[in-house]
Amino acid sequence: MLSVSFTLASSFLQEHLEVLRKMPDMTWTPGIPSIFKDKSQQQLKSMLMHVAPISHNVENARYVGEAPESLDWPTLSPECVNVLKNQEMCGSCWAFSAIGAFSDRRCISKKDSSRVHYSEEFVVTCDKIDQGCNGGYLNTVWIFLQKTGTVPATCNTYKSGGGKTGVCPTACDDGSAFPMMTKSISHKNVCTGEESMKLALVEGPLTTGFTVYLDFQMYMGGIYSHKYGPNMGGHAVEFVGYGEENGVKYWTVKNSWGAHWGEKGYFRIVRGTNECGIEEQCFAAEV
C-alpha cells in the first residue's frame, strides 16, 4: 500500500494557525488562504526564493524633500498599477516584481499610451544570471532589463507556472519575429531611509525583497509583522504605497500570488522598522 508522501498545506498550517489566533496585540488577521488549501508544503516553498545572497554594486540614492502623509498608487492610477499577476508554483517572484514595476512605471510616466503587460516568461527563461524558477536577484534582473529588455506578454506568455523553467524563446509564441525589445534605462537603491523611500515612491512603484516566515503564509489581511514560525525563504514584491492606520505605520505592497490572496492581491506591512528585512534594499528604475 502506497503512503501519502506529502502533507497538504491546509492541515500543516492549521496546527500553527491555532497558535497565532491566541497571540495578543495582533494587527493582522491569520487564516488559511484559499490558494494554499490544496497545496503541499513543498509547493508552498517552491513559490519562494532559495538562492544564496550576493553583494551588489549599485548606486545608492537618497531623496530629500517632504513626502505626502500617505500614498496609494492602486487608487491614484488603477489603470496602471491595479493589475495582479500569479507566479503560481515557480519561484519567479524576482521577475514578476521587476516586470510589474517596469510596466507600472512606463504606464504612469506615459511611456506607453496604455498599460502594456510585459513578459515575465521572457525574463524568467532568458536571464541566465538569475535562476528561473529557483529564484533570482533584485539587482541583476534590472541589469537584464537594461541590457536586453523584454517583449509584450502577448508575444511570450507565461508557461513556467508549473515550477519548471521554460526555454528561452527565439520568436513569439505564434512563430512571428520578436518586436523591438523594450528596455529600462537605469536603476538605483533607494532603501536609504524611510523618508527617502517615501519620496522615491512618489515617482512610482519600487521593487523590494523580504524574508517570508511561516506566519506570513497565513496572512489574510491587516498590517503584517512577524509573530511566529521559521524562515521559509525569500520573496520579491513591489512597494506601491504607504499610510497609517490606528497609529500603525505601514507600506502597501503588491504581491504576485493572484488577486484572491491577501487584501485583493496586496498586503500591508509595518513601516519604519525594517520588518523582515523589507527596507534593506529596494530599487527605483528609470524606464
Query: What pLDDT score was predicted for residue 235?
Result: 96
Measured CA to CA, the distance from residue 208 to residue 97 in angstroms comes to 8
**Cα torsion at 248, 249, 254, 258 (round to 10°)?**
0
CB–CB of 229/213 below 8 Å? yes
CA 32 remoteness from chain centre: 20
pTM assigned to the model:
0.93
Domains of the chain, start order: 69-286 (3.90.70.10)
pLDDT tens track for 149-166: 999 999 999 999 999 999
In terms of residues, how long is the chain?
Answer: 287
Measured CA to CA, the distance from residue 281 to residue 283 in angstroms comes to 7
Q: Is 35 helix (H, G, I), strand (E, B) or coil?
A: helix
Please name every residue paired with 236 in a beta bridge, in sequence order, or none if there are none: 209
Query: What pLDDT score was predicted for residue 49?
Result: 87
What is the grid cell recorded at 37? 488549501
Catalytic residue of the set 82, 156, 189, 255: 255
The series of mean pLDDT values per 10 residues for the chain, 287 residues long, is 45 85 94 86 83 57 82 98 96 98 98 97 97 94 98 98 96 98 95 92 96 95 96 95 98 98 98 96 94
The yes-or-no answer on residue 93 being catalytic is yes
Element (H, E) at 54: none
- DSSP assignment of 186-246: EEEE--S-HHHHHHHHHHS-EEEEEEEEGGGGGEEEEEE---S--EEEEEEEEEEEEEEET
Catalytic residue of the set 93, 133, 191, 282: 93
Query: What pLDDT score was predicted for residue 8?
Result: 62
Query: What pLDDT score was predicted for residue 45?
Result: 82
The yes-or-no answer on residue 235 being catalytic is yes
